[in-house]
Chains A and B, each alone.
Chain A
Amino acid sequence: MTKYSNPEVLVETDWVKQHLGQPGIRLVEIDVDTKAYEAGHIPSAVGFNWQTQLQDQLRRDIISQEAFEKLLGDAGISPTDTVILYGDNNNWFSAYGFWLFKIYGHKDVRLMNGGRVKWLNENDKQLTTEVPKIVPTHYKAATPNLELRAMLPEVLQAQAGKNCNLVDVRSNDEFTGKVIAPPGMTETAQRGGHIPGAKSVPWNTAVGADGTFKTADELRAIYVDQKGVDPKKDSIAYCRIGERASHTWFVLKYLLGLPNVKSYDGSWTEYGSIVGAPIEK
């Protein structure tokens, strides 16, 4: 069995339990359900709200470098800390957080395999409502690595040039245009369908029945052998607003080690609203 290309970016729940409270280890919970942290979280974890703390509140964008530095400084995180991210929905928004941490150059950030639900269902793991006492730091981020992010012009170029793997990670109903967004989701687009030439690989094909990532061999068989993602080409993953895309971006870049993988966080809510952009159903 082959190993993940970058196994160091993934930690198991038992590892987290063993390292709780150790200096230099910081836990951050990022959930789709922004109330979940308040109901209960891993002892010593801080909670980030993806809606109010990871997104620019004026324009549609990720937070600025300055805002990222303030967020991490206020959370008591130093650039040399090992940050463990975890969250609900199989780590959707914690994967988005991972992507953001990497854009701003945090060296040692990892995901907890299986996310919040795995921890919740293990009898030897504790949860608390106690908010940790924080000693703020002066966090200094590195120069942003925007090579991890695809913007619309690059996506349109990739679509026209057909020299890049476009990976649509949404559900089949979203890919085929039967629905524009999953039921109950407020962020939507003007049209349904997918980017012409995109391969449909729903994000959840990357995880097993217990919510943990499949093995490297299984992932390679799915993405490369079955779905035709060419490991020699650049890749762009997209979804609806960027969180599920981050999950697949993590798989392609860190678990499978594909060379140049970007997440298109504008995703379908941007692409599906562009006047004149080509769409397939």
Chain B
Amino acid sequence: MNHQARVYENVFEMLPSEVNPTPLVRINKLNPGAEFPLYAKLEWVSPFGSVKDRAAWELLRDLEDRGELVPGRGMVEPTSGNTGISLAAMARARGHRLLAIVPNKIPLEKKLLLKIVGADLEVISDELCPAPGLGDGSINLAKTHAKASAQKYVLPNQYENPKNAEAHFKTTGPEIWKQTEGKITHLFASLGTCGTVSGTSKFLRSKNPNIKVIAVQPTEGHDVPGLRNVSQLGVSKLFDPSLVDDILEIDFHLAYTRALELCQNEGLLAGPSSGLIFEGALEIVRRDKKGHGVMIFPDNIFKYTTNMTKHIPGLSDGTQPK
């Protein structure tokens, strides 16, 4: 492979690493903090389109190394879309299959993308009365398949597998440290499986224990795919509160309006989870005044056009002939 010329023998050589990092791009118009530069780490500049490429690759390689994937036995994974898309595309290119269990509420674009990249799809309704101890319907169904049909399925289990966080300890953390030349003071990330925040924080804190790690979560009842409110976090065994300084709860509607602002003012085609993280970062810029922030922007806006029309009034106006 040749990163400089960007010539690769296969798509997996393009996956991000310390020598081939995803870009850091400075926020210019929308950051009011003159003494607090904010950089967005564009995780969609990765071959399968999101931050989940990192965890998916680590999980898949681990299963291959341990001989868990054999002819006739594929993977089953609960996913809100991005992990499934990365995992399915990688799996098919390497001769494996993935059954993706997804909640019905994820955007149609993600369901279609999962099918396009070759995942088998099982859609379930997650819209039920809150119930203690239940976990999440898609996680339970994936676990059921893996337990009842172990000869057919193995569960990578991004919510519990430490390989998820390790991926970020090995790649995201070192990339940020090198790209900022050690100047980073604040890391901003969202909470989903918590692999990103846990792994990246652990690496950066090993370099500088004073780095502040800010986790951003949407308000309860949100529809920001992939993210979890603190009331939903029980399902993630990778959440380590000691690796996070602050958890900010942000009105989930702002995820969509901030994403639109990033698209229209900075030229950053950021998705709603990036919008939520950006709003959280602005709160900290106002609070701390000085710093050097890095925001991990998980994916771009392309998978969320239908969700955007729900939250941005008038967005779909004028899209049909008069």
Which residues of A does B touch, CB under 8 Å?
32-33, 36, 39-41, 88-90, 114, 116-118, 120-121, 126-129, 170-171, 182-185, 202-204, 207-212, 244
11 A-B pairs (CB sep. < 8 Å): A33-B124, A36-B141, A39-B144, A116-B140, A127-B147, A171-B129, A182-B128, A183-B127, A184-B127, A204-B132, A211-B132
- In the bound complex, residues from chain A placing their C-beta under 8 Å from that of B132 are 90, 204, 207-211
CB distance from A225 to the nearest CB of B (A): 21
Question: Hey, what's the 0/1 contact readout for B110-142 against A, CB within 8 Å counting as 1?
Answer: 000000000000001101111111110100110
* Complex Cα gap A226–B7 (Å): 69
What is the bound-complex CA distance between A36 and B137, given in angstroms?
10
**Which of chain B's residues have a CB closer than 8 A to the CB of A126?**
147
Q: With a 10 A CB-CB cut-off, give which of A116, A184, A209 has the most chain B CB atoms.
A: A184
B149 interface hit (Cβ, 8 Å): yes
Q: B130: shortest Cβ distance to chain A, in Å?
A: 7
**Minimal Cβ-Cβ distance residue in B for A169:** B129
| Partner pick for A171 among B124, B130, B143, CB 8 A cutoff | B130
* Beyond A33-B125, A128-B148, 6 additional pairs, beta carbon < 8 A: A88-B134, A89-B128, A89-B131, A117-B140, A183-B127, A211-B132
- Contact bitstring B148-192, A, C-beta under 8 A = 1, else 0: 110000000000000000000000000000000000000000000
Cβ-defined contact, B149 with A40, below 8 A:
yes
Check A117 against B125 for contact (C-beta < 8 Å): no
A184 to B123 CA separation, bound complex (whole angstroms): 14
Known A-B contacts A41-B148, A129-B148; A32 and B133 likewise in contact (beta carbons under 8 Å) = no
Q: Nearest Cβ in chain A — how far from B199, in angstroms?
A: 24
Kindly provide the distance from the CB of B54 to the nearest chain A CB, expressed in whole angstroms.
27
Q: Which residues of B contact A88 (CB under 8 A)?
A: 134, 140
- Find chain A residues with CB under 8 A from B144 CB: 36, 39-40, 120, 127
B292: which A residues are within 8 A, CB to CB? none
The answer to the question of B26 belonging to the interface, with a C-beta cut-off of 8 Å to chain A, is: no
A209-B133 CB under 8 A given contacts A40-B148, A41-B148: yes
3 tightest A-B CB contacts, nearest first: A40-B148, A211-B133, A184-B127
SS of B interface (majority):
loop
Q: Give per-residue flags for B284-315: 1 if the beta carbon is below 8 A from chain A beta carbons, else 0.
A: 00000000000000000000000000000000
A170 to B128, CA, bound (A): 12
Cα–Cα, bound, A181→B145 (Å)? 30
Is the pair B135, A117 in contact by a Cβ cutoff of 8 Å? yes
Q: Shortest beta-carbon distance, A165 to chain B, in Å?
A: 21
Q: Which residues of B contact A202 (CB under 8 A)?
A: 129
CB-CB under 8 A for A182 and B129, given A89-B134, A121-B143: yes
The residue among B124, B127, B141 with the most chain A CB atoms within 10 A of its own CB is B141
B7 to chain A, nearest CB (A): 45
Task: List, in ascending order, chain A residues with CB within 8 A of B133's CB.
Answer: 90, 114, 117-118, 207-212
Greatest chain A CB density within 10 A among B124, B130, B134, B137 is at B134
- Taken together as a complex, chains A and B put the C-alpha atoms of A90 and B135 apart, in Å, by 11
Quick one: CB contact mask for B80-117 with A, threshold 8 Å, 1 for yes?
A: 00000000000000000000000010000000000000
Is the pair A129, B125 in contact by a Cβ cutoff of 8 Å? no
Interface contact A33-B143, CB-CB below 8 Å: no
Q: How far is the CB of B32 from chain A (nearest CB, A)?
A: 37
**Chain A residues whose C-beta falls within 8 Å of the C-beta of B234 in the assembled complex:** 209
Q: How far is the CA of A118 from the CA of B133 in the complex (A)?
A: 8
Let me know if B134 and A39 touch, CB within 8 A: no
B128 surroundings in chain A (CB, below 8 A): 32, 89, 182, 184
Q: Which residues of A contact B141 (CB under 8 A)?
A: 33, 36, 39
Inter-subunit contact B147/A211 (CB<8 Å): no
The residue of chain B having its C-beta at the shortest distance from the C-beta of A41 within the complex is B148
Return A250 CB to nearest CB of chain B, in Å: 15
Assuming the A-B contacts A33-B137, A39-B144, A120-B144, are A204 and B149 also in contact, with contact meaning beta carbons closer than 8 angstroms in the complex? no
- Residues from chain A with Cβ under 8 Å of B135 in the complex: 117, 121
Contact: B148 with A127, CB < 8 Å? yes
Q: A33-B124, A33-B137, A120-B140 are in contact. Are A40 and B129 (CB under 8 A)?
A: no
Flag if B127 contacts A204 (CB, 8 Å). Answer: no
Which residue on A lies nearest to B144, using beta carbons? A40
**Complex: how many Å from CA A39 to CA B143?**
10
CB distance from B109 to the nearest CB of A (A): 20
Q: Is the CB of A90 within 8 A of B137?
A: no
Cβ distance A101 to chain B, nearest Cβ, rounded Å: 23
Report the bound CA distance from A237 to B128 in whole Å. 20
In the bound complex, CA of A210 to CA of B132 (Å):
7
> Which residues of chain A are near B148, meaning CB under 8 Å?
39-41, 127-129
Inter-chain contacts of A33 with B (CB < 8 A): 124-125, 137, 141
Residue on B with the closest CB to A203? Answer: B129
Q: Are A244 and B129 in contact (CB under 8 A)?
A: yes
Q: Closest A residue to B130 by CB, please name it.
A: A204
Distance between A52 CB and nearest chain B CB, rounded to angstroms: 18
